Amino acid sequence: MLKIFITREILSEGIDLIRNELPNAEIKIQPEEEILTKEKLKREIVDIDGLLCSLSDIIDEEIISAAKNLKVISNYAVGFDNINIKFATKKKIMVTNTPGVLTEATADIAWGLIFAAARRLIEADKYLRDGKWKRWAPSLLLGYDLYGKTLGIIGMGRIGSAVAKRAVGFNMHIIYYSRTKKPEIEKKLKAKFVDLTTLLKEADIVSIHVPLTNKTKEMIGKKEFNLMKKTSILINTSRGAVIDEQALIEVLKEKKIAAAGLDVFTHEPIDDKNPLVKLENVVLLPHLGSATYETRTKMALIAAKNLVMALKGEMPPNLV
């Protein structure tokens, strides 16, 4: 009998697909209200054939080594930096992800952060709820215009391109820095390829959309922040570790940039003692990039299909 462990309860469409395709499989789902410790994951992985996990589950060499029968790790995410791919491959364990379906939802959340940070929406909401709104004043909670400003995209992949497309309606000047030039995007959106230094100096909004690699880890640090305008806004919906978080805290405290909007952090969930939590000029979200019913349903179906195909001895379409 095949054994499957699912580390988070994904939407029912995905669970139903697994049960329909593998009716005799034993499926165990980690209760949402319980914390999945590394020790428990090591125990669960010992005799399972398939693992369906999320980005917050660290599947390192120690975890993989504990598995005796594991054939596939189906990651419920487009990223896979939580998994030791090299070691899994060495152990002949397939690793899959859910690419493509997160693009529009993540682009939307990036724009949500842009609006919230530029127009101080979270501050304004709290101001009103705290009973502080007693009269109108010309200087009350002033933010920044978006229309006609310069948007700098770091990483013009699927999500970066989707964010850039949305900027057209705001008549924004689009500049970007990426591993490769994108002639089609440049032509369609009138975007301009620039080096990172130029982007940081010129952009009013800097939005990051790169994978976490050795090259991108802490690619935005103290040196890079010093290049940015005092009125600029930093948005990150990619991976927390692409920013030097301590350097970001310092520039926000010192108001060397206007604001930031973050959906990702170096350590997740973020510690409530993290200084970012206390700062008013940063908007914080609990990694909600793909958190729509439509997107999470698609992710559940893709992750489930990847798992099922691998366990049937077939080649899953989204092999990493």
pLDDT averaged per 10 residues, the chain (length 320): 97 98 98 93 98 97 98 96 97 97 98 99 98 97 99 98 98 98 97 99 99 96 98 98 99 99 96 97 98 98 99 97
Helix, strand, coil percentages (3-state) for the chain, rounded to 5, are 40, 15, 45
Task: Supply the pTM of this predicted model.
Answer: 0.92
Residue 210 in tokens: 């790169």
Strands (E) located in the chain: 3-6, 26-29, 50-53, 72-75, 94-96, 150-154, 173-177, 192-193, 205-208, 233-236, 259-262, 282-284
> Looking at the domain 103-284, which fold is it?
Rossmann fold (3.40.50)
Asked if 3-101+293-311 and 103-284 have one fold, the answer is yes
- For 14-60, the pLDDT digits (tens) are 999 999 999 999 999 999 889 999 999 999 999 999 999 999 999 99
Q: Tell me if 310 sits within 8 A of 95, measured CB to CB.
A: no
Distance CA 300, CA 217 (A): 29
pLDDT at 250 (0 to 100): 99
Structural domain spans, the chain? 3-101+293-311, 103-284
pLDDT at 123 (0 to 100): 98
- For 111-144, the pLDDT digits (tens) are 999 999 999 999 999 999 999 999 999 999 999 9
pLDDT at 292 (0 to 100): 98
Q: What sign has the CA pseudo-torsion 56, 248, 231, 229?
A: negative
Q: Which residue has the tokens 């999500």?
A: 159
Q: Which residues are catalytic?
A: 239, 268, 287
Distance CA 70, CA 165 (A): 42
Phi, psi of 119 (to 5 degrees): -105, 10
> Looking at the domain 3-101+293-311, which fold is it?
Rossmann fold (3.40.50)
Give the 3-state DSSP-derived string for 225-273, with helices as H, strands as E and coil as C: HCCCCCCCEEEECCCHHHECHHHHHHHHHCCCCCEEEECCCCCCCCCCC
